[in-house]
Structure 1
């Protein structure tokens, strides 16, 4: 567990180089590179008025099998389609490049998931090793 705690502590102290030009709101969610779009609304008299279009962000709850929890995340509809295409929330986070995630939340989740998976593999190896050791001790006692 110390590896997970160290990963959590370091993830809040670093910056994502791909997320330098994104809006702060996109850093706290999964926007998939979607930004604020700027342009004009043109009236009947052809008067141009500046306006902006915000990304279509929705609050969704996804279950993470790797972390074993439900995560409530602000995502765009584009990202929802990408998650569906990847098959699961975990697959989207783990197999999408950092430059395509373009958020601190996505990068931090990726690090947390990878460290959790590594920790589970280490625990399984230690369990298999201890079971093998017990079997060897049992056969040594039976032969003696």
Structure 2
């Protein structure tokens, strides 16, 4: 016949051998009133532990809800900032393109004028160079 190996734990000490083991399988060893009191206390203890656990869970849930709401608010603020930044960058980009077009048109319009005015004057040819050029041209005509 098989026996319960944990029964030795309860029978080993002298204190536990005088008091009956309170379990659902050993009912009837004490009077019914003490058994009922014991089970009532156990039920109350488990209900209290359950209530405390539920209360802790509720507090954690409230904290999570507050954290979630704060995070959502921060994300909305960040979104607004990013949208403003994007709008400003688009405006800067348009302004830069317009400025570049204006610079290009000014460059093409005044490019030759300013180039002629700002570049070095050609050196005045000396008389020997003028004479040699004239002689060269005269030879070509003939």
Q: Fold conserved (TM > 0.5)?
A: no
Q: Which structure shows the bigger proportion of residues in strand conformation?
A: 1
TM-score by length of 1: 0.34
- Name whichever structure is richer in helix by fraction: 2
Using CA pairs below 8 Å that are at least 6 residues apart, which structure has the higher relative contact order?
A: 1
